[in-house]
Amino acid sequence: MQAQDEYTLGEGYQVGEMPIYLGGYFSLDYRKKDEEDRYRVDDIALMSYGGNDTIAYMVELELKEFYVKTSDDDTTTTTRNHRLYIERLYFDYTMNDNAMFRAGKFNSPLGFWNLMPINVLRATTSSPVSTQIIFPQFTTGLDFQYSSFGEGELKFDLMLQDNTPIDDEYNNYDVDQHFALGVSYEKDAYALKADGGFFSKRDKNTGVKDFTYALLSARYEADTYQFLAEMGTQRSKDGDHNYAGYAQGLYRFTEKHIGIIRLESYKDELKNSNDNMAIFAYTYRPLYPIAFKTEYQQHTKSNENQIIFSFSVLF
């Protein structure tokens, strides 16, 4: 294993000549709503990964919402959260040419957006609602991956969790069971994905509640533009039915200047909420791992209209 000649921003730092790498990222953002301003140091994360021919590891620790200052007409509140969360912690074992096995806490490999969830890498500062209400963003358990390369790339993911999660606070749902199957096909510029699963959500007030969900995703990626769409539906055992979806177009005017338009819709019966929104965003990347982003969100619920600015770096 050779050591890197020099450090490159966004590609991590190699520890000596060992197959161990260090990296991380951070993001700051400002949100302006009609009656509220919010300044936030959102993510400060450190990660390490490495491995050999067949075994690899990833560990990521994060300070989430490290500093938040919120102001409305009457009050200003400041919160600081210095707790270090375990965002990811897993081991990979490559079994053969086609199969790979993952154990630990990992980003649920559902859809496309959920695999690129950090501010600096995603298209906009905000994430679509479909990536927040349909399925658990993280799974603590096993993921069996099978890939085949014929005319294109065909991939299956089988996720199994039947245990208490690692760091249950760092997930959109507190789950102790999650079973899911995903299949994706990628050829040239096209990629399609279908996922479905079941999870049990733990809640201190309401106890355990079971959900099933399905998600369809499509992506077309060219050098100058990208089209991305995801549509998900979720049902609870009690009959609550949620759905959320979005379609997003991204155009790279130049390497550094990127425009994005996203249309979203969702209905969340658990929270008795629904909304449609259009998001107009612009991102400036002086270097790819550095992003200055701005976006304007126009909602059907007018009090949700907002402007967001953010600054994020991957190192």
Partner 1 sequence: MRLGGLILLFLSLCLGAKEYAVIGNERLPNLTAVQIKAIFLKKLTHVNGIHLVPVNLPSHNHLRKIFEKKLLKMSERRLKSYWIKQHYHGKRPPVVMKSQESAILFIHNVQGGLTYIETAKINKPVKILYTFKEED
Q: How many residues does the chain have?
A: 315
Least separation in angstroms between residue 299's CB and partner 1 is 30
| Segment lying near partner 1 (by CB under 8 A), choices 28-36, 90-98, 209-217, 262-270 | 90-98
296 is a site residue for partner 1 (CB under 8 A): no
State the alpha helices, DSSP H only, in 108-237.
130-133
Tell me the closest approach of the beta carbon of residue 282 to partner 1, in angstroms: 17
- Interaction of residue 188 with partner 1, rule CB under 8 A: yes
Binding residues for partner 1, total number by CB under 8 A: 37
| Distance of alpha carbon 90 from alpha carbon 173, whole angstroms | 19
Amino acid, single-letter form, for residue 285: R
* 15, 17, 36, 54: which one binds partner 1 (CB under 8 A): 54
Q: Decide if 30 contacts 52 (C-beta within 8 A).
A: no
Nearer to partner 1, 64 or 252 (CB): 252
Residue selected from 44, 56, 183, 313 as contacting partner 1 according to rule CB under 8 A: 56
Joined tokens for residue 1: 């294993």
Closer to partner 1 by CB, 115 or 307: give it: 115
Q: Is 159 in the site for partner 1 (CB under 8 A)?
A: no
User: Which is it for the CA torsion 244, 114, 235, 208, positive or negative?
Assistant: negative
**Which residues, listed in sequence order, are joined to residue 93 by a DSSP beta bridge?**
55, 101
Output the smallest distance, CB 93 to partner 1, in A.
12
What is the tally of helices (H) and strands (E) in the chain?
1, 18
Q: Which CB sits closer to partner 1, 90 or 213? A: 90
Nearer to partner 1, 94 or 212 (CB): 94
Rounded least distance, CB 170 to partner 1, Å: 16
* Among candidate residues 292, 259, 281, the one with its CA nearest the CA of residue 119: 292
CB of 50 to partner 1, least distance (A): 8
Say if residues 282 and 257 touch (Cβ distance below 8 Å): yes
Please say whether the beta carbons of 166 and 86 come within 8 A. yes
Is there binding between residue 118 and partner 1 (CB under 8 A)? yes
- Asked if 214 touches partner 1 (CB under 8 A), the answer is no
Which residue type is seen at 254? T
Q: Which of 49, 135, 211, 266 binds partner 1 (CB under 8 A)?
A: 49
Per rule CB under 8 A, is residue 104 in the interface with partner 1? Answer: no
Closer of 155 and 201 to partner 1 (Cβ): 155
313: its two tokens: 């770096």
Q: Identify the three-state secondary structure at position 123.
A: coil
Choice from 6, 53, 73, 74 touching partner 1 (CB under 8 A)? 53
Binding flag, residue 249, partner 1 (CB under 8 A): no
Dihedrals phi, psi of 304, to nearest 5 degrees: -95, -5
Token pair listed for 175: 């789950």
Name the segment binding partner 1 (CB under 8 A); options: 94-102, 132-140, 157-165, 305-313. Answer: 94-102
Residue 162: count of CB within 10 angstroms of its CB: 11
Burial of 114 (0-12, 13-18, 19+ CB in 10 A): buried
The answer to whether 4 and 276 are in contact (CB under 8 A) is: no
Q: Which residue shows structure tokens 């490159």?
A: 8
Note whether 313 binds partner 1 by CB under 8 A.
Answer: no
Residues found near partner 1 in the complex (CB under 8 A) = 2, 10-12, 21, 23, 25, 47, 49-51, 53-54, 56-58, 94, 96-97, 115-116, 118, 121, 147, 149-153, 188, 221, 223, 252, 255, 288-289, 314
